[in-house]
Amino acid sequence: MNILLLGSGGREDALAWRLAQSPSCARLIAAPGNPGILRWAECVAVDPCDPAAVVDLAKAEAIDLVVVGPEAPLVAGVGDALRAAGIAVFGPNADAARLEGSKGFTKDLCAANDIPTAAYVRVDTVGDALAALDRFAIPVVIKADGLAAGKGVTVALTRAEAVDAITRASDGPMVIEEFLEGEEASLFALVDGARTIAFASAQDHKRVGEGDTGPNTGGMGAYSPAPVLTPELEAQAMREIVEPTARAMAEAGTPFCGVLFAGLMLTRDGPSLIEYNVRFGDPECEAIMPRVDGDFAALLHSVATGRLGEVPPKLSDETTMTVVVAAKGYPATPAAGGTIGGLDHAEALVGVTVFQAGTKLSDGALVASGGRVLAVTAKGRSLGEARTRAYAAVDAIDFADGFHRRDIGWRELERIS
């Protein structure tokens, strides 16, 4: 197959790395890609959010499968345009991408289908939001409706904080919801419309600081699998959350195709849906890809062509850990341009792969060009071994303008120690 991968982050570097190793991948093109992806693919400067440009590229290169990394192209209708042109695409159409693109849409879908999620109200103005606040206990959660790159959510620990978050927001759709207590885990399910299959679990670390403190980020590290999501809880989440969602979307004439990423809160009453994403997580994807055995490109093609089950997913029993190295100042204003060295030393270590997220080449040197810069990944027979290897690799990297969390995996490491 000729495969086109859309996106330019660490998630896409991990996807490209795994796709390029797949027996059924003949040629891999990335748009726009990054210097890491350039190791495994040809990179072309096409805007992944421009449906017509993506279709033109796919036709010109005789592409058999398009794999969409981030959510923005999906919400922009790139999936629709490719399907209309008869090109297989791993990723949903825009109306199914609303599962990520609109929190209110997903909450209403849960309510209509008895899918466990936090109690909520949808409001459209600051005034209505303030009025609705009285119906909730504290803590309370306030969410902007649309895509906000992880920055649209406030978990308010006091009423004053909630009022402040609402008054700082402008009028527009918002969701106010009940605070759920428990541990979070991510479940990745492959969905081809009617059929669903659990693919992998992971746990992310969203806060910038050690001990899960400070502002939310896109994710500072992850490990896979997440043993806290036991086989029983995973089966329950598939049965009560993912399967009814896929069914409801198909019945509404807006079937979902691709990977459905369920952000779960494991509450005392069982798994509850925090949010959906309509693509792989970043950095969860970097942690999952080294565990994938078999022909990953063929697996994604089977999902894209409605043949889920014909290529069974295969994951190794090994554990992986990804430590994100970010540019100082992230998530507010990351420092750009810091030079990065030592990647060859890091990657020479057993079980280690360094995926590139926000990098660019400047006069032949690799420099930082984004908030999250590297996703340093290691696998091991245990989480402890993966951790030792991942941090040895981080320590071999020379990036003075960077920082990372030293405690990735702490919840699980505490449990097993």
35 binds ligand AMP (CB under 6 A): no
Minimum distance from CB of 169 to ligand GLY (Å)?
A: 21
Q: Which is nearer to ligand GLY, 11 or 18 (CB)?
A: 11
Q: What residues numbered 75-114 form the site for ligand AMP, per CB under 6 A?
A: none
Residues 6+ apart with CB under 8 A from 249: 96, 99, 109, 255, 256
Q: Which is nearer to ligand GLY, 282 or 412 (CB)?
A: 282
12 binds ligand GLY (CB under 6 A): no
Minimum distance from CB of 218 to ligand GLY (Å)?
A: 6
Work out what residue 281 binds among ligand AMP, ligand GLY, none; the CB cut-off runs from 5 to 8 Å by kind.
Answer: ligand GLY
Q: Which is nearer to ligand AMP, 102 or 359 (CB)?
A: 102
Work out what residue 180 binds among ligand GLY, ligand AMP, none; the CB cut-off runs from 5 to 8 Å by kind.
Answer: ligand AMP
One of 224, 277, 302, 369 touching ligand GLY (CB under 6 A)? 277
Work out what residue 282 binds among ligand AMP, ligand GLY, none; the CB cut-off runs from 5 to 8 Å by kind.
Answer: ligand GLY
Length of the chain: 417
Window contacting ligand GLY (CB under 6 A); options: 169-177, 276-284, 335-343, 393-401: 276-284
204 binds ligand GLY (CB under 6 A): yes
Positive or negative, the CA dihedral 46, 52, 55, 59 is negative
One of 12, 13, 284, 401 touching ligand GLY (CB under 6 A)? 284
Q: Which is nearer to ligand AMP, 177 or 318 (CB)?
A: 177
One of 184, 286, 318, 407 touching ligand AMP (CB under 6 A)? 184
177 binds ligand AMP (CB under 6 A): yes
Q: Which is nearer to ligand GLY, 29 or 374 (CB)?
A: 374
One of 209, 263, 306, 384 touching ligand AMP (CB under 6 A)? 263
Q: Which is nearer to ligand AMP, 185 or 346 (CB)?
A: 185
The residues of the shown chain that bind ligand GLY, judged by CB under 6 A, are: 204, 218-219, 277, 281-282, 284
The residues of the shown chain that bind ligand AMP, judged by CB under 6 A, are: 118, 141, 143, 150, 153, 155, 177, 179-180, 184, 206, 263, 274-275
